[in-house]
Structure 1
Amino acid sequence: MALIGCILVKPIISQAAGNSEEHVFEAEEDMIAYIDVAVATLWTEPNILREVDQPSASNPVAIWKWKEDMTYEQELQLSGDGMLETQALYGNKVTILETEGEWVKVAVDGQPTPKEELGYSGWMPASQLTYTTKFANKTDDPFVMVDAPTSYLYHTPAFRHQGMEISYNTRLPYLGESKHAYRVMLPSGSHAWVKKADAKTYESQKAIPTPTGQALVEAGKQFLGLHYLWAGMSGFGFDCSGFTFTLYQSHGITIPRDSSIQATHGEPVAYEDIQPGDLLFFAHDQGKGSVHHVAMYAGDGKMIHSPNSKKDVEIIPVTTKGYYEELSGIRRYLSKTD
């Protein structure tokens, strides 16, 4: 057993490149842990899952099945009943704030919000978390970041024995490489391989090159046709602000998690000065009320966004009826380029 501060952690049997085995994790408040599934969904309360939600709360998760099995009405319930907060990706660092039975409330590192100093918070099953000193000691080292919509972990550099499917923007410590693959460390402390065609390596977050606005737009186009998911933060599904947040974070720039807060940061921009990569915000009461949606300007009078539970990521004219009337402001998080 390992003692972390005053926290007792039982030996952890976790997933190695996607193998499902018994997982044991005992957590207490103030403990640092790491996401041990492809994407963890954070709920507003513990134990509020519907039967259809079970694939999202297992280890390993089955996010595609969860999305495919939900009816439109069940999708709407996630937002209408305020069931979800956000998501966190495989290997993300979290701080445990509370525990209740087999559930833990965690704050996600790297997801800024005025609601919680440590990061956006919500409830998730403790079984989707892990901690190994080996992984924790590597989190400030060079890393591999997935830049395809999703990719897979493999047991060998020849891509035999395909394992877990992981998301865009997933970051795992770099251990080495072959001609066509990067060797990465998993939160369990074991290792796996990722296709070079699906990822890039960086020395640190600060080493990620500053993007152009058009580069952000091109990255977003990979997800055209991906169905919306309330609170979504991954290549398995995004909500509107999860989409813009993830595109920026994957290019080395951290912005607030929620659209209402994104709308108060960055540099205000007049519509006549808009350029690709700028964020457009939409508000109730003909643009004068509270912000409820965000999109990214894609150039040529169009915007790219993840709109709502009826739709997929799409590119439409900014002047589209139902949107343009509610345009409340534009913000820039990049330096202006001429």
Structure 2
Amino acid sequence: MNYWLNKPSTFLWKSPNDHPLKEMLRAQKRRAYTFYTLSDDACLKLYQERLVDSELCYGTEVEVLDETDTYYQVAVPSQRNHAFKNGYEGWIFKEDIDVYPGEILEGEQKIVVFQQEAEILVESSPQVIKVSLGTVLPFIQEEGDFFYVQTPNGRGKVAKEVAQFYNKNQKEAKKRLIELAKSYLDLRYVWSGVTHSGFDCSGFIYTLFKTFGCVLSRDADDQSLEGQEVTYLEAHPGDVLYFAYDEGKGVVHHVGLYLGEDQMIHSHTPGSKVMISTISGTKYESELCTVRRHLL
């Protein structure tokens, strides 16, 4: 049986154990179809206590592996990771997923949100669902200024000005990707985040590229093995820079989007934000381990 996420977003928790932060966030989400509200202290706690591994967007398909009274353990096929055969695994609240209506078809035409936030109007109810950049939903039809899509809450519609067909051949994709990345300058870093509420470093890259139909692995170490490798001297704006400990010879720990002219934009570090940094003359120069071209 197939399932998909019925809330704007949810975290993929490391364990089904009780925690005050889990209960606080769970209570928030029961009131409306909106995103979590996270304090700066809560963001740091997610990181410091390593409570979560990733985040899921509305409509993300999952496979249920196990359950407790409160949680499902799930695999997320759209978030590849070398440690898991069927995609990232973790625990989510039971009420956050519904059974997918029908069979999930390979190659099914889909729509993706390409702005920071969008609203989906559900036909069968007065619900307005707020969704994030990178939300992908099955396409039904287009009419006037709207795409009609299948959602976990029924048939809905989303404005064409905030969404597009989900494929890898978007016109001027790299240019638009860079513009989109810059729109997030000063957004707070959120450990494991993949939505406009806050990104971690690899979540930022994962979501940006996903929006243009290029689905990378979820984490930086796996991403650094994908795409076409180029040298830093050959790098073009829109290529991706990966950084490793031990002067680039150790474990990959960070990633940024190259802007050209020796600069990158990246979700910097816990307690910080999305920013633009120079490579030469900084620690990034010595830690640069590979440059990858994921979009041609």
Provide TM-score, normalisation by structure 1. 0.78
Alignment-derived partner of residue 98 in structure 2: 130
Deviations 1:258-282, CA, capped at 9 Å, x for gaps: 1112122333322211111221112
2:232 counterpart residue number: 271
Q: Distance in 1 between matches of 2:172 and 2:65?
A: 35
Distance in 2 of aligned mates of 1:143 and 1:113: 23
Larger Rg, first or second structure (1 or 2):
1
Amino acid at match of 2:91: W
What percentage of aligned pairs have identical amino acids?
29
1:210/1:48 CA distance change after superposition, 3 Å: farther
Deviation (angstroms), 1:177: 3.5
The answer for unaligned runs of 5 or more in structure 1 is 1-30
Q: Is the 8 A contact 1:210 1:251 kept in 2?
A: no
* Structure 2 counterpart of 1:298: 259
| Match status 1:196 vs 2:160 | yes
**More strand per residue: 1 or 2?**
2
Deviations 1:108-137 (A, max 9, x none): 121111111111111111110001425x46
Structure 1 runs, 4 residues or longer, greater than 4 Å off:
59-62, 136-140
Amino acid at match of 1:197: E
Q: 1:149 aligns with which of 100, 103, 116?
A: 116
Instruction: Report what 2:84 is aligned to.
Output: 116
Which residue of 171, 177, 181 maps to 2:136? Answer: 171
Residue type at the aligned position of 2:136: R
Of residues 181, 202, 206, the one that matches 1:245 is 206
1:53-92 alignment, distance < 5 Å: 54-55=24-25, 58-59=29-30, 60=32, 62-65=34-37, 67=38, 69-71=39-41, 74-92=42-60
- Give the partner amino acid of 2:271: K
Q: Deviation at 1:38?
A: 0.6
Q: Equivalent residue for 1:180?
A: 145
Compared with structure 1, are the counterparts of its residues 63 and 294 closer, same or farther at alpha carbon in structure 2 (3 Å cutoff)? Answer: same
Residues 40 and 271 in structure 2, CA contact (< 8 A), matched pair in contact too: no
CA-based RMSD: 2.6
**How far, CA to CA, are the matches of 1:274 and 1:82 in structure 2?**
34
1:234: how far off?
1.3
Per the TM alignment, residue 49 of structure 1 is displaced from its structure 2 partner at its CA by 3.1
- In the superposition, the TM-score normalised over structure 2's length comes to 0.88
1:98 is paired with a residue whose SS is strand
Task: Name the aligned partner's letter for residue 205 of structure 2.
Answer: T
**Alignment-mate amino acid for residue 227 of structure 1:** R
